[in-house]
Chain A
Amino acid sequence: MANRWTQNLTEKDITPESDFLNRRQVVKSLAGIGLAGLGLAAGTSSSLAKGSDVTNTWEEITSYNNYYEFGTGKNDPLRYAHQLKTTPWSIVIDGLVERPARYALEDIVGKMTVEERIYRLRCVEGWSMVVPWNGFELADLLNLAGVKNGAKYVAFETALRPDEMPGVSYPVLDWPYVEGLRLDEAMHPLTIMANGIYGKAIPNQNGAPLRLVVPWKYGFKSIKSVVRITLMDNQPSTSWNKSNSREYGFYSNVNPEVDHPRWTQAYERPIGGGLFSKRKPTLMFNGYASEVAGMYDGMDLRNFY
């Protein structure tokens, strides 16, 4: 199973060797596991500034997070997420599936093909990273449960543990955090469930033990610490849409042409550039247009933001 999507550039193709050796020591130490390339859509690399699409360091990826269950500050997740108990972990898969059940995490992972996917991550706030995830395609997990005819959407839910999550005592959002995808988006080979970063177990602040990664959508769609997946025939509600439907739509595809009401989405700031970091133009569907644009043919993306 899996390996349906092939990464077509290696990191070395776009990172000067000196930078690669100096700045990417974590990568270097992992060279043995084989560096798959960046998930660059064809023809987009030329539009990027030289060296701007660099895989972020472990430290950057794991200490600058949005995970409001642990607080709204960017380093709150790093500070508090260790309180989350991730073993044992199970995921309820229910709704329009052949085999609705509570699936133990180890049983799931044992049946999946875990591969490395180096994806761009674009936060709706206007910053971006490149993250080397380890995970498996969501399609394989859904097929494990057996998707019934008539299922059109997939709903996801994050764990809600007030004793372990200091942020949920504040009504920042309507807890638990929920997200959703259309079935074709969920079954797309780019869509993965990640359980690792840089070949290591995914840290709690990044959504341990298992989180969704949908690289062509704003980061908040990629729900963390998933405990429930429900196949539905109608569009599920999503947390940020419930909080502010004018600002956050169900689709939330990365789109430089449709601004957030409070800030531009035409540019992004790659994390890791320091105090004088330059912004760079954001790519349509975060650079994955050639893979995913077809799913939205005929849709006015200004209305379906």
Chain B
Amino acid sequence: MMAWILETSINMLNILNNIVRKVPIWSIYLMLMLPSFYYFYIAATGTLSIEPIKALEHKLGEFGLKLIIFVLAITPLRRHLGFNLFRFRRAVGLMTYYYISLHFLVWLLLDVQVMSLIIKDIVKRPYITIGMLAFLAMTPLALSSNNYAVRKLGRVWLKLHKLVYGIAVLGAVHFIMLVKGFQLEPFIYLTIILSLLALRIKFKKNYVRSD
């Protein structure tokens, strides 16, 4: 029985991995971009919320946070389950940056509006400072997400892209800090992110031991 389950699982995994290998990358970009068009559409037509600005801002930020979780899950999925989504990693990473950029632009242009308030907000409001910090830290990662930069930067590239761990934590903390009262949802995001990071620490130890 156990053997059968194991065999079926491995077969399933092989089928899945084969499918992943055939999916064109551009379709991942397109698929991940679609929700943003949808959010803007329902925000503009009034079906998202009576007050669409904050609602749109939150939708975009939350989708960005989901994508960063997706990015962080790719390595553990391959290491622990043998499910290989490495081909999508750059696309998902860049789309995270796309959503957080939109989140930032909606905040800047539609939400805050008043120029003098923007600087004040960034400096005086810790949750905005943290959000800005995470966004700024993402920028070099987005700019170096191309083959040329990977070749040129070599080992530095690997080090640089470790920034994503800190960025993900900052993103979840930003969410925790902006809600009123004690709310569960942002803590669920933080827990998932910390768990995905913890999986890496554990793997490293095992790796050292087996050496």
Chain A interfacial residues counted at CB < 8 A = 33
A243 to B183, CA, bound (A): 12
Known: A264-B120, A275-B56, A278-B113. A64 touches B178 (CB 8 A): no
Instruction: Determine which of A64, A173, A269 lies in contact with B49 in the assembled complex, contact meaning CB atoms within 8 Å.
Output: A64
Chain A residues positioned under 8 Å from B113 (CB to CB): 278-279
Chain A residues positioned under 8 Å from B178 (CB to CB): 262
A223 to B3, CA, bound (A): 62
Chain A residues positioned under 8 Å from B51 (CB to CB): 64, 74, 127, 269, 271, 277
Chain B residues positioned under 8 Å from A259 (CB to CB): 124
A173 to B43, CA, bound (A): 30
A267 to B120, CA, bound (A): 14
B179, CB-defined interface residue at 8 Å: yes
Chain A residues positioned under 8 Å from B124 (CB to CB): 259
Q: Residues 61-74 of chain A: 1 if any B CB is under 8 Å from the residue's CB, otherwise 0? A: 00110001000101
Secondary structure at the A interface, as helix, strand, loop or mixed, is loop
Known: A264-B117, A264-B121, A275-B44. A170 touches B50 (CB 8 A): no
A63 to B49, CA, bound (A): 9
Task: Tell me the chain A residues, 257-278 only, with Cβ under 8 Å from chain B.
Answer: 259, 261-264, 266-267, 269, 271-272, 274-278
Shortest Cβ distance from residue B52 to the other chain A in the assembled complex, whole angstroms: 5
Interface residues on B, range: 20 to 34
A74 to B52, CA, bound (A): 11
A267 to B180, CA, bound (A): 19
Whether the Cβ atoms of B53 and A277 lie closer than 8 Å is: yes
- Which of B178, B182, B183 has most A Cβ within 10 Å? B182
A171 to B184, CA, bound (A): 9
Instruction: Determine which of B43, B50, B56, B125 lies in contact with A263 in the assembled complex, contact meaning CB atoms within 8 Å.
Output: B125
A21, CB-defined interface residue at 8 Å: no
A68 to B184, CA, bound (A): 13
Whether the Cβ atoms of B117 and A267 lie closer than 8 Å is: yes
A52, CB-defined interface residue at 8 Å: no
A60 to B178, CA, bound (A): 24
B46, CB-defined interface residue at 8 Å: yes
Known: A127-B51, A269-B51. A171 touches B182 (CB 8 A): yes
A75, CB-defined interface residue at 8 Å: yes
A64 to B121, CA, bound (A): 25
A262 to B114, CA, bound (A): 16
Shortest Cβ distance from residue B173 to the other chain A in the assembled complex, whole angstroms: 14
B88, CB-defined interface residue at 8 Å: no
Point out residues on A near B: beta carbons under 8 Å: 59-60, 63-64, 68, 72, 74-75, 125, 127, 170-173, 240, 243-244, 259, 261-264, 266-267, 269, 271-272, 274-279
